[in-house]
Amino acid sequence: MNGTLEISLAALRANAEALRALVAPTHAAFVVKGNAYGHGAPEVARAVEAGARYLCVYTIDEALALRAAGIGAPVLVLGPVPAASLRAAVENDCELPLWDERGYLHDLATAARACGKSARVHLKINTGLNRFGIAPDQCDAMLDAVASVRDVEIVGVFSHLAAAEEIDSPYTQYQLARFSIARERVRARFPAAQHHIAASAAAMLWPQSRLDIARFGIALYGLWPSEQTRAAMGESGIALRPALAYRSQLVVTREIEAGEAVGYGCTFHAPRAMRIGVLPLGYADGIPRLLSGNGSFLIDGARCAILGRIAMNTTVLDLSHAPAAGVGATVTLIGRDGSEEIAADDWARWAQTISYEIVTRLPDTLPRRFVEL
């Protein structure tokens, strides 16, 4: 294998417990969509399910994969579910979003009757993100539609915030006010329904948004939703520990002379005689091409700069600060080596993106090793 992801189950459990304590008595739901943000969904779910009010996924396929892996915790699907998959969803006790009172509601009721169970749904409210959901003033019509069919039960009402990473966000206040209107209408007819709108940033920065359930995604994995969130929580006592490390080994080392080029396009020319190392990983393995000539990885506790363009399957490193490194030397792409650390946030800064994208785009083909460290 050319590279391995090491996932700390102990870090996941510690993060989950810290987040649960932060929002108590509000319940915590843990989001494991996108292969648990690249960390490995079944294993992550198994590690944190004991303390989860829900495990949240985006697709029904993700939900059914958890059930096939023996995960028994309540599962909430956040995204659209095809009509052909509704019966499997109900049979496997998956709770579903509802924002369409037309054919979808009829299909859902039919699927529920076919398997002799009640379909449990969470009414999705569009408070301003303008993706999925109904407007607050459409709640009564939707509630009437649900009441007109059998075998569909509203057990939750939820929404999602657009700018919760901002400490002073009038738009978040606007969304919370719109959600309050919908909540009151739902509560009048379904008093036991659970209310939830907060994800990681909102649960940290906007305590009034925690309601019955807070949905933790990126924070579960030890990553902060934003630098602003990290700074604001600096004195709160909450500590998050990154759960993922990415490591490989050098497969080639060589000496090059001053003026020699490295990599496609000859974008790097050695300013002096240099020793370089070749890593057998590239952008096919989740390393953003924007790290070319811009990032660094760790070898023997030292930062080794990326030289030239990252290729599909190779990355070249400057070994000037790791003179003893030879073939087989460990390369830490993400993680700690000695006193130095490369974080997913470093990759995100170099690649002009966010840590969410960095970890979720790590390929499923990379081996994941789960450790109790």
Does 33 participate in catalysis according to the annotation?
Answer: yes
Per-residue model confidence as pLDDT tens digits over 221-236: 999 999 989 998 887 7
Q: Is the pLDDT of residue 237 over 80?
A: no
**Sequence ranges of the domains in the chain:** 9-232, 244-371
Q: What is the mean pLDDT of residues 294-322?
A: 98
Determine the topology of domain 9-232 in CATH. Answer: TIM Barrel (3.20.20)
Q: What is the pLDDT of residue 168?
A: 87
CA distance 136 to 151: 24
Per-residue model confidence as pLDDT tens digits over 70-127: 999 999 999 999 999 999 999 999 999 999 877 899 999 999 999 999 999 999 999 9
Q: Is the dihedral of CA 306, 308, 313, 317 positive or negative?
A: negative
Name beta bridge partners: 76.
Answer: 56, 95
Cα-flanking dihedrals φ and ψ of residue 143, to 5°? Answer: -65, -40
Q: Is the pLDDT of residue 349 over 90?
A: yes
Taking domain 244-371, whether its CATH number is 2.30.42.10 is answered by no
Residues 251/228, Cβ–Cβ less than 8 Å: no
CA distance 370 to 50: 18
Does 124 participate in catalysis according to the annotation?
Answer: no
Q: What is the mean pLDDT of residues 324-350?
A: 98
Q: Is the pLDDT of residue 373 over 90?
A: no
Residues 317/273, Cβ–Cβ less than 8 Å: no
Q: What is the pLDDT of residue 101?
A: 76
Closest C-alpha to 83, from 118, 56, 110, 57: 110
Q: Which of 37, 124, 264, 283 is catalytic?
A: 264
What is the phi-psi region of residue 165: left when phi exceeds 0, alpha when psi lies from -120 to 50, beta otherwise? Answer: alpha
Q: What is the pLDDT of residue 235?
A: 76
Per-residue model confidence as pLDDT tens digits over 254-298: 999 999 999 999 999 999 999 999 999 999 999 999 999 999 999
Q: What is the pLDDT of residue 150?
A: 87
Per-residue model confidence as pLDDT tens digits over 143-180: 999 999 989 999 999 999 999 998 889 999 999 999 99
Cβ-based neighbours of 235, under 8 Å, separated by 6 or more: none
Q: The whole model's pTM is what?
A: 0.96
Fold match flag (9-232 vs 244-371): no
Q: What is the mean pLDDT of residues 118-137?
A: 97
Q: Which of 33, 221, 283, 356 is catalytic?
A: 33
